[in-house]
Amino acid sequence: MKRQPKKTATTREAITVDPRFAPVVAAFARDKRVSQKRMFSSHNVLNVDGKIFAMLVKDKIVVKLPRQRVDELVDERKGGYFDPGHGRLMKEWIAVEAGESTGSTSPLKPITS
């Protein structure tokens, strides 16, 4: 008896995306280098060349940016350093409340322009 191939999502449309993360996914929809992967049972993760750069974690959108930009955004109280749960803050990752505006003051603006 032949084994059936494992079914996997091959398009972004086939993957369920949290509506709060959908604008981030849409911003990179045309970039062929960007892919959406599953991590910790969530499809709300974007990566390029196998490296994660944006994800939805515990109701926060987490984005990798240059450390100087993250410091600026934290100083402006636009978000906070990302804590993955072990108590050590990630200085090149900003965490903002999911659902925040994606206007000109958004931390996502530098990576989507």
Total residue count of the chain as it appears in this document: 113
Strand runs labelled E in 4-109: 34-39, 42-48, 51-57, 60-64, 80-82, 90-97
* Bridge partners (DSSP) listed for residue 82: 90
Per-residue pLDDT of the chain (113 residues; tens, 9 = 90+): 666 555 444 444 456 888 999 899 999 999 999 998 776 667 789 999 889 999 998 889 999 999 999 999 999 999 999 988 888 899 999 999 987 544 444 555 544 43
CATH class (in words) of the domain with range 15-101? alpha beta
Domain boundaries of the chain, sorted by first residue: 15-101
CA dist 30 → 12, 26, 42, 79 (Å): 11, 8, 21, 27
pLDDT value of residue 58 = 86
pLDDT value of residue 40 = 61
pLDDT value of residue 113 = 37
Angle at 60 between CA 78 and CA 108, to 5 degrees: 50
